[in-house]
Amino acid sequence: MHTIAELRAAYISGEKKPSEVIKEVFAVIEEKNDDVFAFLDVFEDALAAAELADAVYEKNGAGTPPLLGIPVAMKTNILIKDKRATASSKILENYTATYDATIVRRLRDAGAIFVGATNMDEFAMGSSTESSAFGVTKNPLDTSRVPGGSSGGSAAAVAMGAVPVAIGTDTGGSIRQPAAYCGLIGYKPTYGAVSRYGLIALASSLDQAGPFANTVADAELIHNTMAGQDDMDGTTITDDTYPAVPVKETYTIGVPRDFFTEGVDEDVLRAFDTHVEELKALGHTMVDISLPLFEKGLAAYYIVMPAEASSNLARYDGIRYGYSAPAESLLEVYEKSRAEGFGDEVKRRILLGTHVLSAGYYDAYYGKAELARKKMREELDEVFKSVDLIVTPTTPTPAFKFGENTDPLAMYRQDIFTVPVNLTGVPAITLPMGTVERDGTALPIGVQYIAPHAGDARLFALGKRLYDERR
């Protein structure tokens, strides 16, 4: 059972019961997780929840909540009451959440059953899940390769067939890139569409939670369940925040060719060109557009994101909660807890972020990056006056091998097409765009569609037609 739609139909007809499906989920995890390591924790109490769901289906059939009995895997930076939420960091190794994130509450209210917490890059910093403090996750399609990151565990959980959907977070590409590497749908909502309450913050002005799924319809259902204004997050938007974005039959789609500079794999470009031809054949109007500032996206991102991360991570001081190193003085507790609790990539970004925010450098770095971000938004608004959507490859390459991108800058280049979306706050979806062959294995790649603010419905509508209907 690959999709929510299939499970739901089988539950309603009585062909299958939620408890049987949860047992299947556990069986797949049992069989594959030692190798793939998508899950850090498995929630045994999911079975009891499923047995309750069995009874409710028997009684109410189609009159049950839309996600009743649907197994969902959660990235371990999302708080589920009484479950561990570690952000894959040693500093939070023994942290148990005391409340539900808003998105968890909404999924739970719709009947979803949480089956486990998934691995990730430590504090969501990375593109390969190699920076987790608890071990690497492998790409189920080729276990010599990374699943992408930072939500690599969530992507792998779906790709290995354990769950139909998993939730991730995307600050600079952490849903879209692993979805592309694992052949899945990945969705990054409009900033503010989904509440961040109960997410372990990385960069608060960029973070959004979203789904991994096998169909666009499933991703849409999960997104719509999680989305909506929330009093616990003042940045959540309402229907009045942005002008309505209509869904149409065909679109004018912009292709920012000058943005596909060096470092983009030739096979990826070829597959992209084929995809553009298909779009034309389907009646869409393809136009070349220019987004010169988008190329500055990575530079701005690697100032804004570490700056916000260094502030957000200041709370892990070894005193209030999380890992605490025994030491002689208070200062030493702070220093040792952070030195021992955080991994290298996290330390690198805290240093970088603290530096760009420090007196004397603030204007030169952080102020400039925020200005660049404002200009990028203006550039995008201008482009969206003449196009309905923008299309790019999701990533410059297919999944790489473990240890292949040890240079941080090489790793950061993975995000070239995804970070401008977070910096400008617009929504984007990645759909599978075929495969490219490496060492005799067909590796999936993705195509990214970007819509104007609050254009989420437009992305889902197009995605369903381009992908679901042609599966």
Kindly name the residue from 19, 174, 195, 310 that is annotated as catalytic. Answer: 174
| SS3 label, residue 423 | helix
Residues found near ligand GLN in the complex (CB under 6 A): 124-127, 150, 170-174, 202, 305, 415
Provide, rounded to whole angstroms, the least separation between the CB of residue 303 and ligand GLN. 12
Kindly name the residue from 16, 17, 32, 75 that is annotated as catalytic. Answer: 75
Provide, rounded to whole angstroms, the least separation between the CB of residue 309 and ligand GLN. 8
* Alpha carbons 471 and 461: distance in angstroms, whole number: 15
Q: How far is CA 281 from CA 253, 256, 275, 435, 469, in A?
A: 13, 20, 10, 21, 16
Across the chain, which distance is largest between two alpha carbons, in Å? 71
Tell me phi and psi for residue 177, to 5 degrees: -65, -50
Kindly name the residue from 150, 151, 195, 324 that is annotated as catalytic. Answer: 150
What angle do helix axes 368-383 and 297-312 make, rounded to 10 degrees? 130
Q: Are 142 and 443 in contact (CB under 8 A)?
A: yes
* Alpha carbons 42 and 176: distance in angstroms, whole number: 24
* Alpha carbons 197 and 244: distance in angstroms, whole number: 26
Q: Are 119 and 38 in contact (CB under 8 A)?
A: yes
Provide, rounded to whole angstroms, the least separation between the CB of residue 168 and ligand GLN. 9
Provide, rounded to whole angstroms, the least separation between the CB of residue 404 and ligand GLN. 15
Provide, rounded to whole angstroms, the least separation between the CB of residue 76 and ligand GLN. 13
* Alpha carbons 3 and 368: distance in angstroms, whole number: 45
Q: What is the DSSP pairing of strand 252-255 with strand 285-288?
A: parallel
* Alpha carbons 465 and 251: distance in angstroms, whole number: 12
Between 11 and 212, CB nearer to ligand GLN: 212
Q: With CA atoms as reference, report the closest residue to 165 among 145, 185, 148.
A: 185
Provide, rounded to whole angstroms, the least separation between the CB of residue 202 and ligand GLN. 5
Provide, rounded to whole angstroms, the least separation between the CB of residue 123 and ligand GLN. 8
Q: Are 294 and 259 in contact (CB under 8 A)?
A: yes
The two tokens of residue 201 are 């913050």
Name the E strands within 230-386. Answer: 252-255, 285-288
Between 18 and 152, CB nearer to ligand GLN: 152
DSSP assignment letter at 278: H
Burial of 73 (0-12, 13-18, 19+ CB in 10 A): buried
Provide, rounded to whole angstroms, the least separation between the CB of residue 19 and ligand GLN. 34
Q: Which residue is nearest to ligand GLN (CB)?
A: 174
Q: With CA atoms as reference, report the closest residue to 8 among 99, 110, 94.
A: 110
Between 154 and 171, CB nearer to ligand GLN: 171
Between 64 and 174, CB nearer to ligand GLN: 174
The two tokens of residue 144 are 């010599």
Between 172 and 455, CB nearer to ligand GLN: 172
Between 50 and 180, CB nearer to ligand GLN: 180
Q: With CA atoms as reference, report the closest residue to 370 among 305, 285, 443.
A: 305
Between 88 and 171, CB nearer to ligand GLN: 171
**Is 174 annotated in the active site?**
yes
DSSP assignment letter at 159: H
Between 57 and 316, CB nearer to ligand GLN: 316
Between 3 and 422, CB nearer to ligand GLN: 422
End-to-end CA distance of the chain: 15
Provide, rounded to whole angstroms, the least separation between the CB of residue 77 and ligand GLN. 9
**Is 75 annotated in the active site?**
yes
Q: With CA atoms as reference, report the closest residue to 389 among 213, 247, 215.
A: 247
Point out the residues that are catalytic.
Answer: 75, 150, 174
